[in-house]
Every structure is written in C-alpha cells, then in structure tokens.
A and B are shown apart, each in its own frame.
Chain A
C-alpha cells in the first residue's frame, strides 16, 4: 500500500481523569474513504479535533505526507491540506454563503482574484449551494449549514477531508446526493475520514471502517466484517441504542 497522507500513531488525550483517546493509530490514504462509528463518547470527535489541530494530543505523533505536524496549529494544517466540517455547523453568520466559501478559498494564500472566484463557484455548484450564494449564512437552515460546512472545507482544496456527522437529518434523496458528492471527492484522490451514525449511508462510500469505543479502536477493516463483529455490536447495543 502506498504511503499514508495523514497518519496518527499512539494518540492519547485526557480530559481530567477521563482518557478520551487511549492510544489511537490511524492512517488515511489518498483516494480512500474511512468511516468511523462508535457510541457517543467513544472519542470520535476528539480524534477528529486532534487530526485537524484544534486539540493538541497529550501523547502520540501525527504525520502529514511523512512530515511531523503534531506541533502545528489548525490554521497551518488547513494550509497544508487538512480540512474539516463540524458536527454543529459554524458558518460565519454575518457573511454571505459566497463570502464564507471565498474567505476559505483565499485564506490559504494560494488562490487569488478570478482563480479564487472560479474555485468558489465550482465548490458551490458541487454542494448545490449556488442558488443560495448571496444569502447571509444566518438565514440558512441546519441542512444548508451542513452543506456550507462541506463547501467551506472544499474551498481549502484539501487532500484530507475530515467529516463530522454531516449526514444526520437528511432525507433519503439528500443522503443519496451526499453519497455521490463524497464518493466523487474520494475518487478525485482526497483522503476522506467520515464520522457518521447513519451506518447504511456511510457504508455506501467507505472502503474501510473503524469502530471506536472508550477512546480505543476496537475493530477495523473491511466494512462488512467490522459491522458483523460481536464487539462492535456490543459497543452499540451496550450504549442503549
């Protein structure tokens, strides 16, 4: 297998007495989508925060294309090519949809002027936000805000895309569209990491599935085999679902 784009090794993170991440190893490869499932509190979002650079791990290393990026902050990692979405969308509400995407496209310093505008138009088109481009982000509904999260992440032209529960609350038609969008991003060579509770949607995209519980990876591999493992079923049912 070719070298990982983003690799985490032995990542630990404690909040007080609670070990939220307890030695996690994970590698993301170009053109491969990896899904993460697990009960609430398993450490999925914390892992994503550590990968994106919003949280510094207590131990462990992160390598991006073979370079140690453990000490780099979120902005720098984004400029390197690691973009993310939030479970609870955080648009810049006072700005228009277009400006939200534009600021992400130009903040990297790679794109300027017409080039940046073209990139934004393409991204808005991909996320079906073009009709809303001139609306202020505060007027968007939750699902539109989630699409804007994705658009803003894509405007950074990432090579690694970290998605946090982007599919929740979608209708069947909307999830189908999302599956097509994410699959095409994967096929374009982006390494995708997708946290999602709606497993049947996730399984249509990911080639590898990781199940987390209590800060550890308890199962990992081909999606079908992971889903059928007893430990995974326990972790889910044990959480009261």
Chain B
C-alpha cells in the first residue's frame, strides 16, 4: 500500500513538474530556445501573486487571475527585449542571454523581497490541507488532484490550440520551418512572441502551485528549472503530451526513491533522467568515446 501511495503522490508531484515544464517545452518546440530563466520566471510569477494577495487580501487563485495580464505583457517584453535579439545571433546566444536573465531576476527579487522564504499556502484556502482518506494507507490530497486536473486541462487546451486555431497552425508551421512560414505570409516574429507570452503565463501557473504546495525564495528558480528540464527531456524534447508523461515519470521516480531513503528522492529522478538520456541519445557511446 505504501508503494501504491508513493506512486499516487508521484503522479501529483509529476503533474506539478509537467506544468512547470510546459512553457519550457513550448519555447523549445517553437523556437529551439532552452530558457534557462524559466524557473525564475515561475518564481517571479509566484512573487507577483504574493504581492497581489498581500495588497488586496484575495485568495491566491484570484490573485493569479489578476496577475495573468501582467504575465502576458512580461512575456512579450521578454521576447522583444531579450530573446528575439539573441535568436538572431545563433544557438548559443539565447542560452547565455537566458542564463544572464536568470541571475538578473534572482537579484531583483532579492532586492525587492529580501531572501526571506514565502508561501502562498495560507492564502489558497482549504484546498491546501483537505484530503480524502481512501483506505488506511492511501490518502488523496485535494491540492494534488487540483494540480493534476489543471495539468491535464492545460495540456489539453494547448493541444486544442495547436490543432484547431490559426495561431496554433502558425506556431506549428513556424516551428518546423520559419523561413517557409514567412513565405506563406506568417509573421514569425509575432508567432515567436506569442509563444513566449504563452510560456510565461504557464510558468506563472507553475509558480502559483510551487507557492501553494511548498515555499519559495528569490533563488528557488534554478531547482524548478532542473526538474522542468528533466521532465521535458524524459518526455522527448518539444513533444507536448510527452512532457506531461515525462513530468509524471519524474515525479513517480522521486517519490519511489524517497521510499528507499528520503535523501534518495531527487537522486532517483536524476537517475531516470540519465537513463533516458543514455537510451535515447546513445549517451553511453558518446561518453565512452570522449573518455577514451
């Protein structure tokens, strides 16, 4: 029963990772950008929600809805100020630019909010603490279910966007061949900017869940980035549903690892990531060849 419970908790945890990973997957899929500031953008989203909660006293979920337009604007601003320029300079520059952005966001957050630890749990209402006892060893937390349902809704909505809307078709076309897309009249600049805005909004949703399920501080971002990145890679780079499954696989690996030893949780996730890397990209052969 403890194993079953661990798997169930792993699915909930993994759904959270999948939400975090979703924006990363979009940006990689559409623009081939690995956004190293993605975790920090999520944490920034959590802080914006925190500010709204503190000023107005609304619940964290309402505050997130208020924060949405801010995140959209931030997404477009991020794209036109940093990403678009760095994209023109080749594949390495966006990595460096987003790495720099990550440091800038962390330090701005330190300045504005001090290194104190915050949580949104208190302002999210009863959902943080309520749960259903299924049997003696198995309990289902309301928050876990909420995150899982949200993750499925987010990925489902993205699927609908990509297969049924004009913006979705343009995103897929631009992702495949930006030059050919231009030649059928698609403004790839605008499509890229929309993809970034979408990624930032979903990152903020990840930040909201991070703040509700645990705590965050200005330097929480990189840890979230690693889990999100692992979810994307495990699920197959740039594949939408793969990212959801990848997140869940990572979550289950971590909770099962924690059964062996609490300190083994994160390591188990990394080991799964490594195994997938080796299996998919022939990593072992590459490592052996370079070691020789």
Q: List A residues at the B interface (Cβ < 8 Å).
A: 52-54, 73-76, 78-79, 83-84, 86, 90, 92-95, 99-100, 102-104, 106-108, 112, 152-153, 155-156
Determine if A95 and B173 form an interchain contact, defined as CB atoms under 8 angstroms apart: yes
Other than A100-B173, A103-B173, give 4 A-B pairs with Cβ distance below 8 A. A78-B185, A83-B183, A94-B172, A156-B184
- The interface size of chain B toward A, counting residues with CB under 8 Å, comes to 17
Determine if B185 and A75 form an interchain contact, defined as CB atoms under 8 angstroms apart: yes
Q: Would A104 and B184 be within 8 Å (CB), given that A95-B172, A95-B173 are in contact?
A: yes
Q: Would A95 and B169 be within 8 Å (CB), given that A104-B185, A107-B186 are in contact?
A: yes
Chain B residues positioned under 8 Å from A102 (CB to CB): 169
Distance in Å: Cβ of B164 to nearest Cβ of chain A:
10
Q: For residue A80, which residue of chain B has the nearest CB? A: B185
Determine if B177 and A92 form an interchain contact, defined as CB atoms under 8 angstroms apart: yes
What are 22 A-B pairs with beta-carbon distances under 8 A?
Answer: A52-B183, A74-B182, A75-B185, A75-B188, A76-B187, A90-B177, A90-B180, A92-B180, A93-B176, A95-B172, A103-B181, A103-B184, A103-B186, A106-B166, A107-B166, A107-B170, A107-B173, A107-B184, A107-B186, A153-B184, A156-B184, A156-B185
Distance in Å: Cβ of A193 to nearest Cβ of chain B:
15
Chain A residues positioned under 8 Å from B187 (CB to CB): 75-76
| Per-residue contact bits, chain B 147-174, to A (CB 8 Å; 1 contact, 0 not) | 0000000000000000000100110110
Q: Would A106 and B169 be within 8 Å (CB), given that A93-B176, A94-B176 are in contact?
A: yes
A53 to B182, CA, bound (A): 9
Chain A residues positioned under 8 Å from B188 (CB to CB): 75
Interface residue SS majority, chain B: helix
A100 to B180, CA, bound (A): 11
Q: For residue B169, which residue of chain A has the nearest CB? A: A103
In the complex, whether B179 has a CB less than 8 A from a CB of chain A is yes
Q: How many pairs of A and B residues are in contact by the CB < 8 Å rule?
A: 74
Q: For residue A105, which residue of chain B has the nearest CB? A: B184
Chain A residues positioned under 8 Å from B184 (CB to CB): 78, 83, 103-104, 107, 152-153, 155-156
A53 to B183, CA, bound (A): 8
A83 to B172, CA, bound (A): 20
Determine if A92 and B182 form an interchain contact, defined as CB atoms under 8 angstroms apart: no
Distance in Å: Cβ of A118 to nearest Cβ of chain B:
16
Determine if B169 and A54 form an interchain contact, defined as CB atoms under 8 angstroms apart: no
Distance in Å: Cβ of A145 to nearest Cβ of chain B:
12
Q: Which of the residues A78, A93, A153 comes within 8 Å of B182, measured between beta carbons? A: A78
Distance in Å: Cβ of B242 to nearest Cβ of chain A:
14
A78 to B180, CA, bound (A): 11
A103 to B172, CA, bound (A): 9
Q: Would A79 and B169 be within 8 Å (CB), given that A54-B179, A94-B176 are in contact?
A: no
A54 to B179, CA, bound (A): 8
Chain A residues positioned under 8 Å from B181 (CB to CB): 75, 92, 103, 107
A152 to B186, CA, bound (A): 12
A94 to B175, CA, bound (A): 10
Determine if A75 and B182 form an interchain contact, defined as CB atoms under 8 angstroms apart: yes
Chain B residues positioned under 8 Å from A108 (CB to CB): 185
Q: For residue A137, which residue of chain B has the nearest CB? A: B176
Q: For residue B187, which residue of chain A has the nearest CB? A: A75
A140 to B61, CA, bound (A): 48
Chain B residues positioned under 8 Å from A74 (CB to CB): 179, 182-183
Determine if A75 and B186 form an interchain contact, defined as CB atoms under 8 angstroms apart: yes
Chain A residues positioned under 8 Å from B186 (CB to CB): 75, 103, 107
A78 to B170, CA, bound (A): 15
Chain A residues positioned under 8 Å from B170 (CB to CB): 103, 106-107
A100 to B169, CA, bound (A): 8
Q: Would A54 and B183 be within 8 Å (CB), given that A75-B188, A106-B166 are in contact?
A: yes
Distance in Å: Cβ of B161 to nearest Cβ of chain A:
14
Q: Which of the residues A83, A86, A93, A99 comes within 8 Å of B169, measured between beta carbons? A: A99
Q: Would A84 and B183 be within 8 Å (CB), given that A92-B177, A94-B176 are in contact?
A: yes
Q: For residue A91, which residue of chain B has the nearest CB? A: B180
Chain B residues positioned under 8 Å from A76 (CB to CB): 187
